[in-house]
């Protein structure tokens, strides 16, 4: 391996794909132990690696800026670089949590106007931040173990970094809870809107059913009237037809007395046969209510004006 390996080189040595991020925070191999940390940036994640070999330590990635912890504890060499990497990652996590919290506060101020997609995006960012903090805790636990012997003098500074990581995790947990609460509130609000719309639809449906029922009742009244008219027409049609036939010139040979008798029979027999039926008498008894419903149904019919005419006026061709 070259004197200054890259993270991809170390991943290849450990048998992982060099074109992908490290799958684990701590990876042990025969050649050494790899500790990896993601650092959030505006353009994505910047990975830092600590490659602990039997014969030395390599810090993978761009060098981290000197931190106040390393200067406070007067650390030098590998111990200072280790604390600088951990401090840079922790600072980035805290800044990301504060940025998410600031955006969340602005969304809360917008109330119902806050887009749901932005809320879910914040939820994903917080979940990613929690995952990064989990990796940092695993790395800190590994360094606090036997590996700390490779970084003399860094014990106290690493403990301070661990406390900062814990603080960042608490902040991320609080932000995540706030995001979840806001999502629940938005979900409840949307559920209330849907319930309100469903109630309104139910009222409209009930009104439509009521109007349909009223229309059916009124149509039944019209049907009663039409049936009565048909029955009366049938009774009247038979003697009328007989009178027409007997009044033709070809029937002049029939004596007048017989004509009168035939017309009387044609008038009385159909009347008796029709109006002696119980169901017809029952219809006639119910004619009063049916007539009222028929009047209501006719009143509800729309008045259609003929093209070129004025609604509400009668012309000379109107009946």
pLDDT, residue 88, reads 92
**pLDDT tens-place string over residues 126-181:** 899 999 999 999 998 888 888 888 888 888 888 888 888 888 888 888 888 888 88
Give the whole-angstrom CA distance, residue 261 versus residue 242: 11
Give the whole-angstrom CA distance, residue 286 versus residue 283: 5
Question: In terms of pLDDT, which residue wins out, 38 or 240?
Answer: 38
- State the Cα angle at 173 between 106 and 115, rounded to 5°: 30
Residue listed under structure tokens 């004006």: 305
Going across the sheet that includes 26-29, the strands are: 26-29, 32-41, 44-53, 56-60
pLDDT, residue 297, reads 59
Same domain, 156 and 227: no
pLDDT, residue 193, reads 86
Same domain, 175 and 224: no
Neighbours of 270 (CB within 10 A): 16
Residue listed under structure tokens 């027999």: 269
Same domain, 105 and 246: no
- pLDDT class of 89 with cuts at 50, 70, 90: very high
Same domain, 234 and 164: no
Question: In terms of pLDDT, which residue wins out, 239 or 297?
Answer: 239
The mean pLDDT of the chain is 81
pLDDT over threshold 80, residue 219 = no
Query: What is the average per-residue pLDDT within 75-83?
Result: 90
The CATH number that applies at residue 20 is 1.20.58.340
The reply to whether 264 falls in a domain is: yes
244: its two tokens:
């027409």
78-92, 208-222, 264-278, 301-315: which is most confident: 78-92
Pairing assessment for the beta strands 56-60 and 32-41 based on DSSP bridges: unpaired
The reply to whether 311 falls in a domain is: no
Same domain, 166 and 295: no
Provide CB contacts within 8 A for 71, sequence distance 6+. Answer: none
Contacts 24+ apart (CB under 8 A), 260-269: 263/239, 266/238, 266/239, 266/242, 267/238, 267/239
Query: What is the average per-residue pLDDT within 84-112?
Result: 87
The reply to whether 51 falls in a domain is: yes
Domain assignment of residue 253, given as a range: 214-299
- State the Cα angle at 60 between 140 and 9, rounded to 5°: 120
- pLDDT class of 199 with cuts at 50, 70, 90: very high
pLDDT, residue 81, reads 92
pLDDT over threshold 60, residue 80 = yes
Question: In terms of pLDDT, which residue wins out, 160 or 115?
Answer: 160
SS3 state at 221 = helix
Same domain, 122 and 242: no
Same domain, 167 and 227: no
4-33 core/surface letters (b: 16 or more CB in 10 A; e: else): ebbbbbbbebbebeeeeebeebbbeeeebb
229-268 core/surface letters (b: 16 or more CB in 10 A; e: else): eebeeebeebbeebeeebeeeeeeeeeeeeeeebbeebbe
Same domain, 171 and 224: no
Query: What is the average per-residue pLDDT within 274-282?
Result: 75
pLDDT, residue 315, reads 47
- pLDDT class of 37 with cuts at 50, 70, 90: very high
Provide CB contacts within 8 A for 297, sequence distance 6+. Answer: 215, 218, 219, 221, 222
pLDDT over threshold 80, residue 275 = no
Residue listed under structure tokens 């169901």: 279
Query: What is the average per-residue pLDDT within 244-262?
Result: 76
Same domain, 59 and 138: yes
Same domain, 275 and 133: no
The reply to whether 199 falls in a domain is: no
pLDDT over threshold 90, residue 84 = yes
Of all residues in the chain, the percent with pLDDT exceeding 70 is 86
The reply to whether 304 falls in a domain is: no
pLDDT, residue 237, reads 77
Question: What is the helix (H) or strand (E) element at residue 259, kind and residue range?
Answer: helix 256-275
Taking alpha carbons only, the member of 154, 179, 33, 162 closest to residue 89 is 162
pLDDT, residue 3, reads 62
The reply to whether 64 falls in a domain is: yes
Structurally, the chain folds into a number of domains equal to 2
Question: In terms of pLDDT, which residue wins out, 228 or 32?
Answer: 32
**pLDDT tens-place string over residues 221-231:** 677 677 777 87
The reply to whether 310 falls in a domain is: no
The reply to whether 85 falls in a domain is: yes
Same domain, 180 and 222: no
For the full predicted model, state whether its pTM sits above 0.85.
no
List beta partners, residue 56. Answer: 53
């Amino acid at each position: 391996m070259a004197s200054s390996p890259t993270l991809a080189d170390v991943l290849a040595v450990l048998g992982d794909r060099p074109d992908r991020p490290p799958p684990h925070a701590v990876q042990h191999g025969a050649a050494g132990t790899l500790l990896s940390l993601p650092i959030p940036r505006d353009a994505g994640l910047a990975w830092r690696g600590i490659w602990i070999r039997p014969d030395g330590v390599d810090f993978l990635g761009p060098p981290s800026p000197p931190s106040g912890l390393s200067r406070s504890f007067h650390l030098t060499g590998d111990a200072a670089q280790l604390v600088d990497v951990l401090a840079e990652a922790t600072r980035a996590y805290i800044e990301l949590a504060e940025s998410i919290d600031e955006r969340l506060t602005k969304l809360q101020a917008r109330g119902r106007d806050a887009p749901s997609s932005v809320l879910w995006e914040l939820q994903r960012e917080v979940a990613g931040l929690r995952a990064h903090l989990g990796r940092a805790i695993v790395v800190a636990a590994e360094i606090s173990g036997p590996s700390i012997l490779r970084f003399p003098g860094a014990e106290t500074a690493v403990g301070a970094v661990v406390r900062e990581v814990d603080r960042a995790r608490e902040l991320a947990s609080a932000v995540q809870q706030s995001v979840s609460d806001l999502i629940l509130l938005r979900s409840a609000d949307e559920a209330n809107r849907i319930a309100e719309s469903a109630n309104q639809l139910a009222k409209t449906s009930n009104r439509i059913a009521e109007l349909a029922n009223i229309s059916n009742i009124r149509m039944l009244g019209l049907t009663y009237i039409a049936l009565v008219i048909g029955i009366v027409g049938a009774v009247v049609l038979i003697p009328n037809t007989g009178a027409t036939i007997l009044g033709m010139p070809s029937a002049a040979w029939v004596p007048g007395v017989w004509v009168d008798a035939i017309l009387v029979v044609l008038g009385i027999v159909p009347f008796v046969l029709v109006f002696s039926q119980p169901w017809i008498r029952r219809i006639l008894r119910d004619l009063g209510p049916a007539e009222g419903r028929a009047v209501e149904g006719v009143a509800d019919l729309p008045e259609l004006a003929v093209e070129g005419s004025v609604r509400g006026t009668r012309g000379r061709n109107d009946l």
